[in-house]
A and B are shown apart, each in its own frame.
Chain A
Amino acid sequence: MTALLTTAAGPGASLVQTVDWLAIAPATLPAVVAVVVLIADLFLDRRGKPVLGWISIAGLAASLALLLPLRSGDRSTFCLADAPTACSYTADQFTLVIQFLVLAGALLTALLSVTGAREGSLPAGEFWFLLLSSAAGAALLPASRDLATLIVALEVASLPAFALVGLRRGDRLSSEAALKFFLSSVTATAVSLLGVSFVYAATGTLHLTQVADRLEEVPAQLDTLAMAGVALTLIGFAFKTAAVPFHFWVPDTYVGAPLPIAGYLSVVGKAVGFTGLILVTVIAFPSYSDIWGPALAVLAALTMTIGNAAALRQAPDRAHSAVRLLAWSSVGQAGYLLVPIAAAAYSERDAIGSTVAYALMYAVVNLGAFAVAALVARTAPANRISDYRGLYARRPLTALALAFFLLCLAGLPPGIIGLFAKVVVFQSAVDAGLGWLAVVMAVNVVVALYYYLQWTAVLFRAPKAAEEAAAATTAPAATATVTPTAAPARIPVPISVAIAVTGVVAVVLSGAPEAVLRYAATSLFPQ
Chain B
Amino acid sequence: MIDISPSVMQFLLAFIVAGPLLGALAALLPPPPGLKGRSPEQAVLRHGVTVTGAVLAAAVALTLGFDHDTPARFQATTDISWIQALNVRIHLGVDGISLPLLLMTALLFFLCALYSYFKLPAGPSPKAFVSLLLVLESGTLATFAVLDLLLFFLAFEMVLIPMYFLIARWGGDQRQAAAWRFILFTLLGSVVMLLGLLLIGINSGTFDMVALATDNGRELTYTTQLVAAAAIGLGLAVKTPMWPLHSWLPDAHTAAPTVGSVLLAGVLLKMGTYGFVRILLPVTPDGMQTLAPYLAAFAAVGIVYGSLACLALTRKGAKGDLKRLIAYSSVGHMGFVLLGIATMTPTGVNGALFANIAHGLITGLLFFMVGALKDRWGTSDLDTLAGATGAALYGRAPRMGALLAFAAVASLGLPGLAGFWGEMLALFGAFEPAEGLSRPAFLTFMAIGAFGTLLTAAYLLIVVRRVCMGDPHARPDAAPAVLADVHGYEFAAWTPLVALTVLAGLWPAILLGLTDPAVQKLLAGGNA
A residues engaging B (CB < 8 A)? Answer: 357, 412-414, 416, 419-420, 423-424, 426-427, 430-431, 442, 445-446, 449-450, 453, 457, 460, 479, 482, 513-514, 517-518, 520-521
Interface 9-residue window, one of B183-191, B478-486, B498-506: B183-191
Residues of A within 8 A of B88 (CB): 420
Q: 11 other contacts beyond A419-B154, A430-B198, with CB at 8 A cut-off?
A: A420-B83, A420-B150, A424-B85, A442-B195, A445-B191, A453-B183, A514-B82, A514-B83, A518-B85, A521-B84, A521-B85
CA distance A424 to B86 in the complex (A): 7
| Smallest beta-carbon distance B528→chain A, Å | 32
CA distance A450 to B180 in the complex (A): 11
Query: Are A517 and B198 also in contact (CB < 8 A) when A412-B157, A413-B157, A414-B161 are?
Result: no
Interface size class of B (residues with CB under 8 A): 20 to 34
For window 178-212 of B, CB contacts with A under 8 Å fall at: 180, 183-184, 187-188, 191, 195, 198-199, 202
Name the residue of chain A whose CB is nearest to the CB of B84. Answer: A514
For window 311-369 of B, CB contacts with A under 8 Å fall at: none
Q: Is B84 within 8 A of A449, CB to CB?
A: no
Q: Which of A442, A460, A479 contacts B165 (CB 8 A)?
A: A460
CA distance A420 to B150 in the complex (A): 9
B32 on the A face (CB < 8 A)? no
B462 on the A face (CB < 8 A)? no
Residues of A within 8 A of B202 (CB): 427, 430-431
CB<8 Å pairs between A and B, sample of 29? A357-B85, A412-B157, A413-B157, A414-B161, A419-B154, A420-B83, A420-B86, A420-B150, A423-B86, A424-B85, A424-B86, A427-B86, A427-B198, A430-B198, A430-B199, A445-B191, A446-B188, A446-B191, A449-B187, A453-B183, A453-B187, A479-B122, A514-B82, A514-B84, A518-B84, A518-B85, A520-B85, A521-B84, A521-B85
Q: Is A479 within 8 A of B124, CB to CB?
A: yes
| Smallest beta-carbon distance A292→chain B, Å | 25
Residues of B within 8 A of A416 (CB): 154
Residues of A within 8 A of B188 (CB): 446
* Chain A interface helix/strand/loop/mixed: helix
B511 on the A face (CB < 8 A)? no
Residues of B within 8 A of A424 (CB): 85-86
Query: Are A479 and B84 also in contact (CB < 8 A) when A414-B161, A449-B187 are?
Result: no
| Smallest beta-carbon distance A220→chain B, Å | 41
CA distance A427 to B199 in the complex (A): 9
Q: Is A457 within 8 A of B180, CB to CB?
A: yes
| Smallest beta-carbon distance B324→chain A, Å | 23
| Smallest beta-carbon distance A264→chain B, Å | 28
Residues of B within 8 A of A514 (CB): 82-85
Q: Is A412 within 8 A of B187, CB to CB?
A: yes
* Chain B interface helix/strand/loop/mixed: helix
CA distance A357 to B83 in the complex (A): 13
| Residue in A413, A416, A426, A445 whose Cβ sees the most chain B Cβ within 10 Å | A413
B244 on the A face (CB < 8 A)? no
For window 154-186 of B, CB contacts with A under 8 Å fall at: 154, 157-158, 161, 165, 180, 183-184
B123 on the A face (CB < 8 A)? yes
| Smallest beta-carbon distance B136→chain A, Å | 13
Residues of B within 8 A of A449 (CB): 187, 191
Q: Is B191 within 8 A of A442, CB to CB?
A: yes
| Smallest beta-carbon distance A309→chain B, Å | 17
| Smallest beta-carbon distance B205→chain A, Å | 11
CA distance A175 to B124 in the complex (A): 47
For window 136-155 of B, CB contacts with A under 8 Å fall at: 150, 154
Name the residue of chain A whose CB is nearest to the CB of B124. Answer: A482
5 closest residue pairs by CB, A with B? A521-B85, A517-B85, A413-B157, A520-B85, A514-B83
CA distance A479 to B83 in the complex (A): 44
Residues of A within 8 A of B124 (CB): 479, 482
CA distance A506 to B85 in the complex (A): 18
| Smallest beta-carbon distance A54→chain B, Å | 35
| Smallest beta-carbon distance B300→chain A, Å | 30
Residues of A within 8 A of B199 (CB): 430
Residues of A within 8 A of B84 (CB): 514, 518, 521
Interface string of B116-127 (1 = CB under 8 A from A): 000000111000
Residues of A within 8 A of B165 (CB): 460
| Residue in B82, B85, B180, B183 whose Cβ sees the most chain A Cβ within 10 Å | B85
For window 103-138 of B, CB contacts with A under 8 Å fall at: 122-124
| Residue in B83, B161, B165, B183 whose Cβ sees the most chain A Cβ within 10 Å | B83
| Smallest beta-carbon distance A314→chain B, Å | 18
Name the residue of chain B whose CB is nearest to the CB of A460. Answer: B165
CA distance A453 to B187 in the complex (A): 11
| Smallest beta-carbon distance B39→chain A, Å | 15
